[in-house]
Structure 1
């Protein structure tokens, strides 16, 4: 009896660890419409951190292209991309995850950068050197940062 309980506990911990494993950028599975069904980090996103990432120039800097009323404290909202107000009512979490990770999987030809991609770029730059970068490049956002941004976007609901 004691061995069975111990075996079940170990199996349960192993299953939880498998669920919590981070998905590497090259291993992300997109559906036919560009959605990513499962968490990239294995952990829930933090909407507050997501809001910070969206406003931070060295991170997502989403507001440089998108207007977001909820982030009114951040200056200079962009007009290149669509307004994100109500996006949590229009899209499922998996769809938003796919768009944030690599919008080109959903919208061919979009100018939105792929935030969770490490290879297959066209002319990546190496800082301000004028020389081409060498792949694989680091992703613009980590798996957890993607989850945080998605968690924030899911809070933007229509009233």
Structure 2
């Protein structure tokens, strides 16, 4: 029998997959841009242009990315925010853009048992609906927009 925290995490992850399928989670059919991981970062942008923090904020708050399902942050207009993952307030103080980028691209590199989706992967994933198989959840530009926004969150 699984311990309570792992059992709860599995239920939450299953709920995320179901919610993602029901809400058409923004899956993109575009090909993944090659990137290089150095240490705990992807130091180079996935695009040729900087991300837009305003678009990134909108993506973080969108139910399609599920960010605020688990995270909370400095979003007074959002009534229900998650408490399963760290508060996003101060994120720009804690991590560099490259570290944020890798966390969004593939959170499982830091914690193989994480319930956070790997937003820019299409291989080795489990419990993925047929319509979302072989597709990243977010595009390279959307990853860069979220990175740009999270980098602005400083105490």
On whether the aligned pair clears a TM of 0.5, the verdict is yes
Tell me how far apart the structure 1 counterparts of residues 127 and 67 of structure 2 sit (CA, whole Å): 22
Give the secondary-structure state (helix, strand or coil) at the position aligned to 2:106: helix
Q: Count the aligned residue pairs.
A: 126
**Structure 2 counterpart of 1:61, from 62, 66, 73:** 66
TM-score normalised per structure 1: 0.72
Q: 1:150 is matched with which residue?
A: 147
- Cα RMSD of the aligned pairs, angstroms, is 1.9
Q: 2:83 is matched with which residue?
A: 79
Q: 2:6 is matched with which residue?
A: none
Please list every run of at least 4 consecutive aligned residues from structure 1 whose deviation after the TM superposition is greater than 4 angstroms: none
Gaps spanning 5+ residues in structure 1: where?
Answer: 1-23, 128-132
Gaps spanning 5+ residues in structure 2: where?
Answer: 1-30
TM-score normalised per structure 2: 0.74
Larger Rg: 1
Q: Whose relative contact order is higher, 1 or 2, with alpha carbons under 8 Å and at least 6 apart?
A: 2
Q: 2:32 is matched with which residue?
A: 25
